C-alpha cells in the first residue's frame, strides 16, 4: 500500500506539465502554456526560445513581480508578432537558480543522497549555458528543514565531448524510504530549478557538447519492498557552444 501511494502521488505531480501551445496556428488564443521565464516588470521572457510574454491579465496573487525567474502557466490571448504575445497569467512558482556543484570539491553530506525523480527536461539555454528542469522529492509533512536539490558535476568523468552530472537530493534522511516513519507522514514536493553550467564546460570543448544526468528514485521490487532505482546517463540533449 505504501508503494502504490507513492507512485500515484508522483504521477499527479508530473501531470501538470502538459502544454497546449501551438504558435503556428492561425488563431492566437491558447490555453495552459507552461514554461520557465525571467521576469522583467510585466513581461516574461520565455526560455529557451526567447518569446516575450506581456502579462495583460493576472489571476494570481501578483507576488511574482518580486521574483527573478518563475515557472508559470498562462493563456495566450493575442500576438503582436511571431515572438511577442499578450497573456493571462494563471499560476506560477518561483524558480531556484544555482550553479552546478563540482563533485571533487563538494562534500556528499552537503549535496545529499535522498531519492529524487527527474521527470522532465524543460530546456537547455545555449546562450546562458543553463538547464531548467522540474524535480520531485519526498519529505516529512512536519519537517522544519529546507530540502535541497543539487546538480553535481562529475569533473573527473567528464571530458570535452560529454558532461556527466548527478541530480542529488539533500533531505537529511527525511524522505519516503526512511522506515522510521509511516506513509501518511510524507508529502511529495515539486522543485523548479535552473542550474548554471557555464563553469563546467571545458576550454577545449568543440562546437557542441552532450549532457548526461544520473539520479536515484524509488521503485517496488519483486518482494513488494521499496528499493533504489538508478537512472543511468539520461541524455538531456546537446548544447551548442559556438
pLDDT tens digits for the chain (242 residues)?
344 445 434 433 433 433 444 445 545 567 888 889 999 999 998 866 678 999 999 999 999 999 999 999 999 998 888 889 999 999 999 999 999 999 999 998 899 989 898 766 667 888 889 999 898 898 999 988 899 999 999 999 999 999 999 999 999 989 888 888 888 898 888 999 999 999 999 888 888 889 998 888 877 666 555 566 666 566 667 777 76
Residue 8 included in any domain: no
Q: Locate cell 539533500: which residue? A: 170
Q: Which of 69, 94, 119 is the last residue of a domain?
A: 94
Q: Is 109 found in the same domain as 89?
A: no
What domain range is 32 assigned to? 15-94
From 72, 94, 116, the end of a domain falls on 94
Check residue 171 and give its pLDDT: 92
> In angstroms, how far is the first alpha carbon of the chain from the final one?
51
Residues 161 and 103 grouped into a single domain: yes
Cα–Cα distance measured from residue 186 to residue 116, given in angstroms and rounded to the nearest whole number: 14
Residues 211 and 102 in one domain: yes
Indicate which CATH number applies to the domain containing 137.
2.60.40.2370
* Residue 10 belongs to a domain: no
Please count the structural domains in the chain: 2
Mark whether 173 and 122 lie in a shared domain. yes
pLDDT value for 24? 53
Residue 188 and residue 152 share a domain: yes
Whether residue 4 lies inside any domain: the answer is: no
Within-domain flag for 2 = no
Amino acid at each position: 500500500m505504501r508503494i502504490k501511494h507513492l507512485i500515484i502521488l508522483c504521477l499527479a505531480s508530473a501531470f501538470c506539465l502538459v502544454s497546449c501551445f501551438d504558435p503556428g496556428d492561425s488563431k492566437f488564443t491558447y490555453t495552459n502554456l507552461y514554461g520557465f521565464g525571467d521576469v522583467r516588470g510585466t513581461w516574461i521572457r520565455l526560455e529557451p526560445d526567447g518569446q516575450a510574454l506581456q502579462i495583460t491579465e493576472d489571476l494570481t496573487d501578483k507576488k511574482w513581480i518580486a521574483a527573478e525567474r518563475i515557472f508559470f502557466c498562462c493563456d495566450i490571448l493575442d500576438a503582436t508578432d511571431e515572438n511577442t504575445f499578450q497573456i493571462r497569467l494563471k499560476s506560477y512558482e518561483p524558480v531556484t537558480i544555482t550553479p552546478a556543484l563540482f563533485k571533487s570539491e563538494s562534500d556528499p553530506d552537503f549535496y545529499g543522497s535522498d531519492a529524487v525523480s527527474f521527470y522532465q527536461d524543460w530546456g537547455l539555454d545555449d546562450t546562458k549555458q543553463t538547464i531548467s528542469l522540474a524535480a520531485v522529492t519526498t519529505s516529512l509533512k512536519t519537517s522544519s528543514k529546507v530540502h535541497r536539490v543539487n546538480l553535481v558535476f562529475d569533473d573527473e568523468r567528464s571530458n570535452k565531448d560529454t558532461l556527466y552530472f548527478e541530480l542529488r537530493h539533500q533531505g537529511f534522511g527525511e524522505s519516503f524510504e526512511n522506515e522510521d516513519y509511516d506513509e501518511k507522514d510524507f508529502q511529495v514536493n515539486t522543485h523548479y530549478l535552473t542550474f548554471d553550467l557555464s563553469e563546467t564546460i571545458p576550454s577545449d570543448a568543440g562546437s557542441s557538447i552532450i549532457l548526461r544526468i544520473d539520479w536515484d528514485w524509488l521503485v517496488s521490487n519483486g518482494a513488494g519492498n521499496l528499493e533504489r532505482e538508478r537512472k543511468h546517463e539520461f541524455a538531456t540533449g546537446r548544447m551548442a557552444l559556438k
